[in-house]
Structure 1
Amino acid sequence: MARTLTLAGEDAPDNGAAPTLEQLRTRIAGMQDGVPRVPVPTHPAIADLLQLRTGGAYQVDRPSLGMALLGAASREGAWSAVVGAGDFGVEAAAELGVDLTRTILVPDPGDQWLEATAALVDVVSVVLLRPPAGVTARTAGKIAARLRKRSSVLVVWGEWPGVEARLSVLESSWSGAEEGHGRLRARKVVLGVQHGTAPQRRAELWFPSPDQTMVRIEPASVGRASFVEEVTA
């Protein structure tokens, strides 16, 4: 069971220089303020779009994406925390790989949300935060410095200045209910991932898939499935 605490209150040009530019970007991403930025386990369905690194903050537009980011690290033994999300679904989180026995929940930190987040950054690997509206760049900068010092990762459900990447669900459609009857079993989404001012990259996913996980939809596999249907029809 999760532990709960209550507190008061531009892509590289298509030429021979591309490999060199990519190598430089990787080296820069791996160092910040002289502190090594170590890769953190990232969900395999989106690993080609996003690589979490210690010292970084990442923004999501819904809690399920935050759970998926927590889950990959949690499966590898990392401790995590969730701050300010009173409606956080622990069952859904567990299905996405979050180990609840190594998860600290602070559902209602009130005015102490910043102190709670800073304290948890000191002791866990990944923190999922739902912040209040209107967080300033100065406040975000304080947490950023803490993240680098403690080699932690911050996933923010909501607006946050200076994040390294923003993940958002651009399109969504459910399957399972036929003519208004039955149970919704899976949802197909188009996920957008944007790093700074670079062009947004997109991918189709089953999220959740019928087994309640995140699965990449590859165009080639869709084509093969259609071909099989036509042959067997």
Structure 2
Amino acid sequence: MFDSGVVPTALERARAALQSVERRVGVEHHTPVEQRERGLELTPPSPAPLTELLPGGDLPTGAAVTVRGSASLMCWLLGVTQRDRWVALVGWPELNPVALAEAGVDLERVVVIPEARGHVAVVLAALLDGVEIVVAGPRARLTASERRQLLARARQRAATILSPVSWEGSAFILDVEQARWSGPERGAYWLREAHLSVVRRSRADDSGTRFEVTRHDTAAPTTVPTRTTGQAAGRRRAG
């Protein structure tokens, strides 16, 4: 018989028993109200501008950045970071001006040198003296020594080097691990939507930070951070 005159229901007795067991084994239980009060309620992150991929929200000056696995991501990054800066593209004739314009790049502030042949290092060094963002494309073949010298020059001139291949001493690396395109005939004729799985690797990212990048039609691409990568990914670090 209960003094209060209130007989607990079976559900209330079960909850009380469960909480008693949880306390004994060290499990902390939170109701939805408690979760909101403690800030523990998990909500999916909202899409953010593509600049969320970049530490500090912009390309670093006096540094190199590696963007591997997607020419589209390279174009989009140029579109959101160029502003009133000049861009030089060296050794990348396949990079379509239409794609650059659709990505938001101001073509009037772009210098294009499709082939530098045997003078790649000399051409890049000259461009770093007066251009803020220099893209060394896949045909801009350089030795490790030349890359070190160009990075030192970029530091002196407060310029940024972008490369689709590994560049020793990169401030960070953006690796596109998967790219999915969709549209009529699965995107074969008219690409309407893009989804990229990107991992950012840097000293500050520990084992790597994963993002999902999405672009619908001609809208600006957005990104959502998801989770850190495993230990295996952590072995592939910048620089």
TM-score range, shorter chain: 0.5 to 0.7
Tell me how far 1:180 sits from its aligned partner.
8.6
Q: Does structure 2 conserve the Cα–Cα contact (< 8 Å) formed by 1:58 and 1:163?
A: yes
Structure 1 equivalent of residue 79 of structure 2: 71
Match of 1:99 in 2: 106
Conservation of the 8 A alpha-carbon contact between 1:133 and 1:159: no
Tell me the distance in 1 between the aligned counterparts of 2:187 and 2:100: 28
| Structure 1 equivalent of residue 67 of structure 2 | 60
The structure with the largest alpha-carbon Rg is: 2
- The 1:91–1:63 alpha-carbon spacing in structure 2 relative to 1, beyond 3 Å, is same
- SS at 1:117 equivalent: helix
TM-score w.r.t. length of structure 1 = 0.67
Q: Mind listing any 5+ residue stretches in structure 1 that lack a counterpart?
A: 1-42, 220-233
Q: Give runs of aligned pairs for residues 189-228 of structure 1, distance below 5 A.
A: 189-196=196-203, 198-206=206-214, 208-211=215-218, 213-217=220-224
Task: Give the 3-state SS of the residue equivalent to 1:193 in structure 2.
Answer: strand
TM-score normalised by length of structure 2:
0.65
Aligned to 1:45: 50
Offset at residue 187 of structure 1 (A): 1.3
Partner of 1:152: 159
1:185·1:210 contact (CA, 8 Å) conserved in 2? Answer: yes
The Cα shift of 1:53 comes to 1.4
Contact between 2:209 and 2:225, CA under 8 Å: does it hold in 1? no
| Corresponding pairs, count | 175
The Cα of 1:199 is off from its aligned counterpart by: 1.2
Which sections of structure 2, spanning at least 5 residues, go unmatched? 1-47, 227-239
Matches within 5 A, 1:74-223: 74=82, 76-132=83-139, 135-177=142-184, 183-196=190-203, 198-206=206-214, 208-211=215-218, 213-217=220-224
Matched position secondary structure for 2:74:
helix
CA RMSD of superposed structures (Å):
2.6
Distance of 1:68 and 1:179 partners within structure 2 = 22
* Distance apart, 1:63 and its partner CA: 2.1
Cα distance per residue 1:95-146 (max 9 Å; x no partner)? 1121100100000111111111111111111011115587443211101111
- For residue 228 of structure 1, what is the aligned residue in structure 2? none
Distance across 1 between alignment mates of 2:144 and 2:211 = 30
2:131 maps to amino acid = V
Query: Relative to 1, partners in 2 of residues 1:186 and 1:162: Cα closer, same or farther, differing over 3 Å?
Result: same
Task: Tell me the distance in 1 between the aligned counterparts of 2:106 and 2:181.
Answer: 27
Q: Contact 1:84–1:106 at 8 Å: present in 2 too?
A: yes
- 1:8 aligns to what? none
Residues 185 and 216 of structure 1: is their aligned pair in 2 closer, same or farther, counting only changes over 3 Å?
A: same
Task: Looking at secondary structure, tell me which structure has more helix per residue.
Answer: 2
Alignment of 1:8-19 (within 5 A): none
- 1:48: Cα distance to partner? 5.2
Question: Partners in 1 of 2:187 and 2:49 — Cα distance?
Answer: 34
Native 8 Å contact 1:49 1:201 kept in 2: no
Task: Quote the Cα distance in structure 1 between the aligned partners of 2:162 and 2:183.
Answer: 31
Residue 158 of structure 1, CA deviation: 1.4
